[in-house]
Structure 1
């Protein structure tokens, strides 16, 4: 270049003339895809939870019928026996472990040895693959008529029974020199060593309230027995695996408490009626 046409220098960069960036110079990195595995795990968990809930409902629907059939068969009850079964707790872990924690069995009417009443039994530690129960207890509620059938085996005069919580009054008569003498005995019911125990609290003969000595003096020793406790064995009316542990009056019903031998589930002799010998 000649001096006539000198080369001009590049202008200094300034804020008034910013350097332009030519598009396409540096390629942008593609955006990362979000990981899907948390959603997959969540779906699997929800499906498993749904299956577990369904299995629990299924177990609760099937188990009562199975238990009912076993009880009816072992105790020789009628096939149409009404019996409600309720299992406590979550069943699946118990079924897997082969042992139920607790079962409630209730019925409005069941008959043993001619005595009919409403029964409520709670059993714990029930093995599903055979074996004895860990424990079982229950109650039977009977009305005045059924209670009368029980006490006819005693020496009490039983023409009529009346409940007056907590006591029972038995009315009837006995003969003295061939003449009927009206008598009324009020007793407090209980249980002892598997027997029913009736303890007199008041005794009236011919309208007079007397004690044992007066009765013996006026009417003889036979009448004096009415003033003593009356023991009534009902073992021959119950399966041998059931033992009476209590008896009390609740309103218009007599409530009998029972203890159940856990071996009744496997020992056929305990499923048969006991003996009063």
Structure 2
């Protein structure tokens, strides 16, 4: 081939001869560069729905906690025939909405500084379990009742002890009165440790004074006969006839100037009216 017909080289690209791009041609990636991407909104929508549902659940829980105590208080006052203005604090454990939907409360606490049941007045703190919302027996209930010296004295009405006054001081109770010997009234003071035995009140003597002098139990038994024996022996006093039949005493201890009584409540008391009436002593 001669030099007169040689092939000339293709001119190099420069700013004076830019390369043109034909519209519609090129790979897919280049086409996506100029196209705006659509944002995915569904995660935000889902988040908003979850937040709204959570707020509704919280609101429902708050409403339930605000309304439930008043409803329970009204039912208790009606069932126990308490005064309309009876102070009674009601609280429930756990999340209420699932319990309300299930028709039963797991645990319900009832507290009051002063309530009168069958003539006995004291502060009560009771916890009920398995509380049905549509009627029925309780799963169970237990708690404590705190009574002062005057109320404790009333519980001792069924004893033969000469009782005029009762003084409570941890852990004992001291009953004071007088006995008549040969026509002479002699002051007697008996210190006992109170407790509960099979539902009865139990008094265990720990000290005795006669005429202001501390005496030996054996001497009292010999000099006062049957009365002396009663003063120095452990006594059991049935007080079932002073309490609702559905309440069983399980323990008693003196705390300062008060007696703290542990009680167990029969779950049928919610449906059996006879358990709200006074019990019977054998």
Calculate the TM-score normalised by the size of structure 2. 0.89
> Once structures 1 and 2 are overlaid, which stretch shifts more, 223-232 or 64-73?
223-232
Conserved? CA contact 1:168–1:187, under 8 Å: yes
Q: Which residue of 2 aligns with 1:225?
A: 230
Taking the aligned partners of 1:101 and 1:138, their CA distance within structure 2 comes to 16
Residue 64 of structure 1 aligns to a residue whose secondary structure is: helix
Conserved? CA contact 2:222–2:228, under 8 Å: no
> Once structures 1 and 2 are overlaid, which stretch shifts more, 196-205 or 225-234?
225-234
Confirm whether residue 210 of structure 1 aligns to residue 220 of structure 2: no
User: Displacement, 1:249?
Assistant: 0.4
How many residues were matched structurally? 272
Which whole-Å deviations, capped at 9, do the CAs of 1:180-227 have from their partners, x for residues lacking one?
Answer: 011110000000111111111111222343344322321221232111
Structure with the bigger percentage of helix: 2
Taking the aligned partners of 1:165 and 1:18, their CA distance within structure 2 comes to 111
Residue 125 of structure 1 aligns to a residue whose secondary structure is: strand
User: Displacement, 1:166?
Assistant: 0.5
Taking the aligned partners of 1:86 and 1:135, their CA distance within structure 2 comes to 16
| CA separation of 1:224 and 1:210: change in aligned 2, threshold 3 A | farther
User: Displacement, 1:271?
Assistant: 1.6
| CA separation of 1:185 and 1:18: change in aligned 2, threshold 3 A | farther
Confirm whether residue 50 of structure 1 aligns to residue 55 of structure 2: yes
Q: Which residue of 1 aligns with 2:92?
A: 87
Q: 2:111 aligns with which of 101, 106, 111?
A: 106
> Once structures 1 and 2 are overlaid, which stretch shifts more, 33-42 or 53-62?
33-42
Q: Which residue of 1 aligns with 2:265?
A: 260
Taking the aligned partners of 2:22 and 2:165, their CA distance within structure 1 comes to 112
Question: How do 1:23-172 residues align onto structure 2 when only pairs under 5 Å count?
Answer: 25-26=23-24, 28-29=31-32, 30-172=35-177
User: Displacement, 1:23?
Assistant: 5.7
Residue 156 of structure 1 aligns to a residue whose secondary structure is: coil
Residue 158 of structure 2 aligns to a residue whose secondary structure is: coil
User: Displacement, 1:10?
Assistant: 6.0
Residue 20 of structure 2 aligns to a residue whose secondary structure is: coil
Taking the aligned partners of 2:67 and 2:14, their CA distance within structure 1 comes to 87
The gaps in structure 2 that reach 5 residues or longer are: 26-30
Taking the aligned partners of 1:263 and 1:24, their CA distance within structure 2 comes to 92
Residue 158 of structure 1 aligns to a residue whose secondary structure is: coil
Taking the aligned partners of 1:238 and 1:95, their CA distance within structure 2 comes to 32
User: Displacement, 1:19?
Assistant: 6.0
Taking the aligned partners of 2:153 and 2:69, their CA distance within structure 1 comes to 34
Q: Which residue of 1 aligns with 2:10?
A: 12
User: Displacement, 1:9?
Assistant: 6.3
User: Displacement, 1:173?
Assistant: 0.5
User: Displacement, 1:93?
Assistant: 0.8
Calculate the TM-score normalised by the size of structure 1. 0.91
Residue 81 of structure 2 aligns to a residue whose secondary structure is: coil
The gaps in structure 1 that reach 5 residues or longer are: 1-5
